[in-house]
Structure 1
Amino acid sequence: MKFYLKTKDYSVSQETFELFLDQELDMLITKPEPQVLDSYYDSEVYISHTDANVSLVDKIYQRVKKINLKNKLKVVGNHAKGKRLLDVGAGTGDFLIVAKEKGWSVVGVEPNKKARLKASEKGLDLKIALEDFSNEKFDVITLWHVLEHVPNLTDQVTRLSKLLSENGILVIAVPNYKSFDAKYYKEHWAAFDVPRHLWHFSKLSIAKLFSKEDLKVSKIYPMIFDAFYVSLLSEQYKTGKQNFFSAFFVGLRSNMKAWRTKEYSSLIYVLKKAK
């Protein structure tokens, strides 16, 4: 593996980590990988586990999340051939609630206790691990900015494949380290989010990882809003200030460049079993 860059955990511990490039998979790997990751999520600023809506950044996140939830369900609906859905890393359960309201049969997995408690307040009983569904099959399995968090990546990819029905689809959203905003902010790029993000994917790495389980990428969608939100956080990490105008123009530039290169800040992949 080849050294790529040094960065730090800006949001919780302030500890330094290094990213290394796996040249075969075209994927960055966070090192060292902490033996116990729970403490790195133990923060009120970790918004996907808390539903925080206090700061201006929180409010922007929550507003964008509502739009994204509808877009995510639309993507799923465009490709699914059944209504049984498993959401992995469900957080506080908002995507499952939206899907359930539209007639989907939903279940979810969330390892974080605080997030599960928030979800239970919304009427959802989330399981702790994928192992709880070992004898079941699903028409759709979704991971919304989750795959980058999971330890034992290849084992998890295999487990996901086994849970998928014959005509099922896997829908995965992850940051794209080859985007313009990633290259612009470098070690300050918020979507590196070390050490919570253990892996940093490209389009090639997703294709290669899942091809080992005979899953093929059938469609890729951009996540337009991510470039703006990630740039806003990155400005904070880089300068200590919320430079809204700078963040907006970097996000806009990233999306404009991606219109040609297709390397958006985050990407949604739809994968199906190869025929």
Structure 2
Amino acid sequence: MDKTEDTVYLKCKDHTVSGKSFSLVPDENHKMLRTSPAPGVEELPEYYKSEDYISHTDARRSWFEKIYHLVKNYALKQKLKYINAENPEKGMLLDIGAGTGDFLTVAKNDGWKVSGTEPNASARKRAGEKGVSLIEKTDASFVRKHISSYDVITMWHVLEHVPNLEEQLQELKELLKKSGTLFIAVPNFRAYDAKHYGAYWAAYDVPRHLWHFSADAIRSLFSEKGMKVVRTIPMKFDAFYVSLLSEKYKNGKMNFFRALWTGWLSNRKAARTGEYSSLIYVIKHQNN
């Protein structure tokens, strides 16, 4: 693949809000892709203004949304199980990009001291109604106040949305205790379902997803910050969820059986290659 700045890996359409097209440009240094042109910080919130953006709503209007929330409830318990396995002594947990607060609610009920951020005002309001108070974002004063404070920091499908990736990675390093653990979940553009659907792969989700990671990219990026991936955990349900949406984008409707087959095939191939549709990365400081 050509390493020039202008090389385009793929062109994708925003199927959720604008209908605009964006390019995915390779970053060969980190084996990842970036969305181009990336919306400015002021413009970016406009691309989240949709009732179909499911992580900012608790709606159950369709069978798809009902299934999503059913699977989500199972996934929340699994995430908590992974965290407790790494950190049996419950301490302080920060969830960045907490959405409507469901994960923090589960963690709080399990005995964790929770806090979180969420830029979307409507989602923050829903979280507050569940007893979880969120702030809009972290900033320099927040980092100074909470440096090396957190036993666990989680970002569940959030890192791909962050405008300033370098700044975010540095912040994670500073906020995490030396003995703490990061849990980072992101889509994997090297998965079979990504290759199968190409420009219609729903997990590209341009331009809300500004970065598109591979496992090599995550290892490289965190290694540069003195951190290491100690293990990866597959998110097998994501292959089915993403395939359903991809079918809709490609063919105009959610073909359940075709999506089921593609998701199953993706997970089967990933059992050999490790290239699941989405992965959770468990990350620690390198001296631990």
- The answer to whether residue 189 in structure 2 is matched with residue 189 in structure 1 is no
- The answer to whether residue 251 in structure 2 is matched with residue 243 in structure 1 is no
Q: Distance in 1 between matches of 2:118 and 2:278?
A: 22
Question: What TM-score, normalized by structure 1, do the two folds share?
Answer: 0.98
1:78-97 pair list within 5 angstroms: 78-80=85-87, 82-97=90-105
1:1-275 pair list within 5 angstroms: 1=5, 2-35=7-40, 36-80=43-87, 82-131=90-139, 133-134=142-143, 135-136=145-146, 137-275=149-287
What is the one-letter code of the residue matched to 2:253?
Answer: K
Moved more, 70-79 or 223-232: 70-79
Q: Distance in 2 between matches of 1:218 and 1:242?
A: 37
Q: Distance in 2 between matches of 1:105 and 1:123?
A: 13
What is the one-letter code of the residue matched to 2:37?
Answer: P
Q: Distance in 1 between matches of 2:199 and 2:72?
A: 25
Task: Say whether the 8 Å CA contact 1:18–1:31 is kept in structure 2.
Answer: yes
CA drift of 1:83 comes to 1.7
What is the one-letter code of the residue matched to 1:5?
Answer: L
Identity of aligned residues (%): 55
Alignment length, in residue pairs? 275
Aligned-partner SS, 2:135: coil
- Structure 2 portions without partners, runs of 5+: none
CA drift of 1:124 comes to 1.4
Q: Deviations over 1:176-225 (max 9, x none)?
A: 00000000000000000000000000001101111121110001000010
Moved more, 95-104 or 81-90: 81-90
Q: Deviations over 1:62-111 (max 9, x none)?
A: 11100100011111111125421000000000000000111111000101
Q: Distance in 1 between matches of 2:110 and 2:201?
A: 36
Q: Distance in 1 between matches of 2:155 and 2:84?
A: 15
Q: Distance in 1 between matches of 2:16 and 2:252?
A: 12
Aligned CA-pair RMSD? 0.9
Aligned-partner SS, 2:268: helix
Q: Distance in 1 between matches of 2:14 and 2:122?
A: 21
Q: Distance in 2 between matches of 1:52 and 1:148?
A: 24
Aligned-partner SS, 1:120: helix
Question: What TM-score, normalized by structure 2, do the two folds share?
Answer: 0.94
Aligned-partner SS, 1:44: coil
Aligned-partner SS, 1:3: coil
What is the one-letter code of the residue matched to 2:46?
Answer: S
Aligned-partner SS, 1:130: coil
Task: Say whether the 8 Å CA contact 2:10–2:23 is kept in structure 1.
Answer: yes
Q: Distance in 1 between matches of 2:35 and 2:120?
A: 21
Q: Distance in 2 between matches of 1:247 and 1:61?
A: 14
Task: Say whether the 8 Å CA contact 1:45–1:52 is kept in structure 2.
Answer: no
Q: Distance in 2 between matches of 1:271 and 1:13?
A: 35
Task: Say whether the 8 Å CA contact 1:110–1:126 is kept in structure 2.
Answer: yes
What is the one-letter code of the residue matched to 1:8?
Answer: K
- Structure 1 portions without partners, runs of 5+: none
Q: Distance in 2 between matches of 1:274 and 1:14?
A: 43
CA drift of 1:241 comes to 1.1
Aligned-partner SS, 1:236: helix
Q: Deviations over 1:13-32 (max 9, x none)?
A: 11100001101100010000
What is the one-letter code of the residue matched to 1:20?
Answer: V
Task: Say whether the 8 Å CA contact 2:151–2:179 is kept in structure 1.
Answer: yes
CA drift of 1:55 comes to 1.1
Task: Say whether the 8 Å CA contact 2:35–2:211 is kept in structure 1.
Answer: yes
Q: Distance in 1 between matches of 2:64 and 2:91?
A: 34
Moved more, 26-35 or 78-87: 78-87
What is the one-letter code of the residue matched to 1:9?
Answer: D
